[in-house]
Structure 1
Amino acid sequence: MLNYWIFKMPPYEELGQQEVQHVAPADGCVSIVLMDRKPQLFKMALVTGPTTDMIRTVVQPDTIYLGIRFVPGMFCAVFDVKDIDLKNQKFPAQHLLPYLDLQPLLQHLYFDFKDFGLIDDFLLNLLAQHPPVRYDEEVNRAVQLIMASAGGVLVKRVLENACLSERQLQKRFKRSTYLSMKELAKICRLHQTIIKVHLENKSISDAVYESGFFDQAHYNHNFYQSTGRKPEEFYKYISRIKHVDVKPVSKNEN
């Protein structure tokens, strides 16, 4: 498990519109997303796979979204989901994980939800009911190196720690995380740059340099390639969102 996240939409009277086309940076992770749409008393759970592009979704007034975000490779290990490619995919949780009863969490999900200990207990009980997690240790070391360096580690360095050929590691990495090492590194690097610019108030030139891009043109190209938007358009949009306790998806958070 990497962390939890919450996204809250204000009521219609405050929002002034029925829905919003929301965009968010890719994070390279599989998440279980719980949703409570207050006006319709509608609750549901989704499993969202890692995306290589910006996450785009429609969000509606008076709705809360709570995500359980897994370290790349760990969702596959915990739930033994190996035959379905989750990359750029969404599935109703009851279809992908029919044996997983998420109703206890959904019943306690409400707009002012703060009891994350409830999720801790749920996951610990889940693990206690299943055999010990069998994860790919070489892939996990590769993931840790990539995330700790915010995508800046060289493939050569990753291979030295894995003691595998590049072909072997790439194959196992993709089977466990649904991404290539290059894709995860690119996501981490871009994600950290966005955090530095938007939340740490650093200049784009400083953030680009610290995140390992060659120059601003390289950053702009990667940004547009991943999001379909120019950086200034995206920053204008997310400036409307209040962020609390958001950190880079790296730097010893694992």
Structure 2
Amino acid sequence: MVYRKYQPSIALLPFVRCYYVWESHRAMEGALEVHSPPNGLGGMVFNYEDPYQVQDAKGRWEDVPRSFIAGQFTKSYTLRLKGRPGMIGIAFGPAGLANVLGVPMIAFTNLRIELKLVLGSEADQLENRILESKTSQQRITLLEEFLLKQLCKSRLAIDREDYALASIVQQKGMLSISKLSDELCISPRQLRRRFTEKVGVSPKLFSRIKRFNYVSYLSTSASSNWMDIVDEGGYYDQAHFIKDLYDFSGKKPSDFINYYRAMPALIGA
């Protein structure tokens, strides 16, 4: 298995975190299961080899669409790769999909929606060109051209939700949403409604996810200390930290650390 990330062009940096390629050059002997907690990002994925599977709430495995848009996920999910997987994806910033495609992200929360249901025939054309490409660089070039074209067509306007989003990300989720709404001269209810439409989750939940992402990063460091992590993450006590860790990853702290420290070797990064 090989997992690689690629930087977008300068014009797309405000909206796209990275492109990634995850593939195997030969058929896998068994299946690889990977647990993925919330990361605060949206996505677009194209499977040019065997599509992977995801496990539903009843434990059943389902194939993902050949190409799809993924919204914000609020719980951890498990994916399974088998056969000869090959995919290229776009990791969008929290509001990247809304800004580039002009679609409300609330419609995609906890879902993977087949791309052609959103973009119609344009999705079929892009998918076919991705399938016909022979190299990762050719596929990235196609995605860059597509996104730049979409960006030119979008009615992009930086608004209060973007400011709120930037503040939450900058402060790693450790801020008062009430004070943030005061700064923006907007009621908490209005901020919640508009933010949720653009990002897919409420400001409060998004803040929890970003703080979880930050403490996850801290906890997988070899020199991590529980009390330091709790303090650095702005938690009232260790119990609140453990609750967030379990809510978003489904794992106990020790299991979480052991699993995610081993993740790079597991996925081939």
Q: Which residue of 2 aligns with 1:133?
A: 156
Letter in 2 for 1:231: P
Matched letter for residue 163 of structure 2: R
- Which amino acid in structure 2 is aligned with residue 74 of structure 1? G
Give the conservation status (yes or no) of the 8 Å contact 1:32–1:69.
yes
Instruction: Name the TM-score, length of structure 1 as normaliser.
Output: 0.79
Q: Secondary structure at the match of 1:58?
A: strand
Q: Which piece of structure 1 moves more, 2-11 or 182-191?
A: 2-11
**Deviation of the 1:85 alpha carbon:** 1.8
1:86-105 deviation line (CA, Å, top 9, x unaligned): 11111111122213442334
- 1:123 and 2:147 correspond: yes
State the Cα RMSD in Å.
2.9
- Residue in 1 that maps onto 2:91: 69
Work out whether 1:108 is the aligned partner of 2:133: yes
State the Cα distance separating 1:11 from its structure 2 match. Answer: 6.2
Q: 1:2 aligns with which of 11, 16, 29?
A: 16
Question: What one-letter code is carried by the residue in structure 2 that aligns with 1:3?
Answer: R
Q: Indicate which of 37, 43, 52 corresponds to 1:25.
A: 37
SS class of match (2:75):
coil
Write the distance in 1 (CA, Å) between the matches of 2:134 and 2:235. 40
1:46, 1:93 within 8 Å by CA — same for their partners in 2?
yes
- Distance, in Å, in 2 between the alignment partners of 1:242 and 1:235 is 13
Query: Which structure carries more helix by proportion?
Result: 2
Which runs of no fewer than 5 residues in structure 1 stay unpaired? 244-254
Identity across the alignment (%): 21
TM-score between both structures, scaled by the size of structure 2:
0.75
Q: Which amino acid aligns with 1:195?
A: Y
Aligned mate of 1:85, from 86, 107, 116? 107
Partner AA of 2:133 in structure 1: H
2:9 corresponding residue in structure 1 = none
User: Which ranges of structure 2 fall in alignment gaps of 5 or more residues?
Assistant: 1-14, 52-64
Aligned length: 235
